[in-house]
Amino acid sequence: MDYQLIEYLSEFITPERNDLFDRVLDQRTRYLTIVLENIFQPQNASAAMRSVDCFGLQDAHVIENSNTFEVDREVAMGATKWLNVKTYSKKDDNSLDAIRALRDNGYRIVATTPHEGDTNLEDFDLRKGKAAFFFGTELTGISDVVKNEADEFLKIPMHGFTESFNISVSAAVILHHLTWKLRNDPEIDWHLTKEERAAIKLEWLRRSIKSSGLIEEKYQARQKEEMEKK
């Protein structure tokens, strides 16, 4: 990681914005992530992305089986600009592809649906390790693939006549509760690593600075000249 480049690009934003980047990075985590499976309503998916950013998660995953993910800019309020969004759309079974990729990165696969043997939100054990929460389509919920592959099932306790919240509300409720627990548990190391912080900040700087590519080219040329002089 070129930390000097980060320092150099930081000079092209205001000190206040640079401080904001650092404060947000202090609270960012990859310990939790969400997975949206085949969502067809842009408002719901975009609202969920907004919650991901607001509650301090850095990553979100989108599975496109028969529906394409589209951002509703008025709902998302620019949230996806600050997130790492991974899309799975190239395989015959994109849900299984996402599950395998997340498992390879140490995540538990958690299906958010009522199920025999499921866990109430309040009882979810964060100390067991990183967790990826799957949310399914508005009409049919998560797929059978996710149900069959899930390590755990999570539900939000309800006390009314309706059986469930919509996807964006469910994501917000779950993330609010679990990120609060996470940040108040001294036994869990949920912070980003130094390298992760640097990589994310570099990307934020690139997205924030006009003509950042040209600025980087000048920086690289200057670095090359200095190396040649040595």
CATH topology of domain 29-183: Alpha/beta knot (3.40.1280)
Q: Summarize the confidence of residues 1-10 as an average pLDDT.
A: 94
The domains of the chain are located at: 1-28+196-230, 29-183
Span 64-97, pLDDT tens digits: 987 777 766 665 567 889 999 999 998 778 999 9
pLDDT tens per residue across span 198-214: 999 999 999 999 999 99
Q: What is the pTM of this model?
A: 0.92
Question: Does 34 score more than 90 pLDDT?
Answer: yes
Lowest mean pLDDT among 121-130, 164-173, 189-198: 164-173
Q: What is the mean pLDDT of residues 171-188?
A: 97
CA–CA gap between residue 114 and residue 156 (Å, rounded): 8
Number of neighbouring beta carbons within 10 Å of residue 127: 9
Mean pLDDT of 48-77: 84
Average pLDDT for 23-38? 96
